[in-house]
Amino acid sequence: MGKPALILASQSPRRRVILSLMLIPFETVSVVTNETLDPSHSIEENVTRIALEKAEAAKVLLPDQGRNIIILAADTVVAKGNRILGKPEGFDEAFSMLKSLQNRSHRVYTGFVLLYGHKTHSECVSTTVEFEPMSDNEIKRYLLSEKPYDKAGAYGIQDPLIACHVRRIEGCYYNVVGLPISRVCKSLKTFF
């Protein structure tokens, strides 16, 4: 049947760039799912469930043409203690989120799922990030220049103005960007 084709179920340009680091060909499919967090479940359970919903939505979109495919989907959230910071609604919420992350550590969780036929692999990876304090003006400047409203926690660790304020990171850097590539790579090896 040949090597399976890899499909990334994501609209994120950052996930596409990270996955391309593996140097294996893949296609992308854009999916829209609810992404609602269930407060009765853990953060890990929520992000892996949402990733599974994305993968299953992609599977429905892909007609079975006898192709041998692996679908990869992921979901990332930022958490300050037990409070989950998703994608901000606008400037004010983004400002409030970034202000709350100053001078303390927070965790970034990415759940990812691989679907291959009837086989499913799901995993959650977390990374701890700590910022140097940013002034209100630095936060405003960052928000106005980068407009990070499509990013959990209202920031992208790879963005120039944020990169200058990362004091410490413990765990996978790429996980903070949106895909823990080393774990995805290790998991994919079992399918190829």
All structural domains of the chain, each given as residue ranges with its CATH number in brackets, are: 5-189 (3.90.950.10)
Question: Catalytic residue at 38?
Answer: no
Average pLDDT value for residue range 129-144: 95
CA dist 42 → 45, 63, 84 (Å): 5, 33, 11
Q: Which amino acid is at 26?
A: F
| Token pair belonging to 97 | 């989120």
Pair 19, 181: CB distance under 8 Å: yes
pLDDT tens track for 84-126: 998 899 999 999 999 999 988 999 999 999 999 889 999 999 9
Active-site position among 38, 64, 75, 150? 75
**CA angle in degrees (0–180, nearest 5) for 119-122-126:** 165
**Statement: the pTM of the whole predicted model exceeds 0.85:** yes
Write down the pLDDT at residue 52: 96
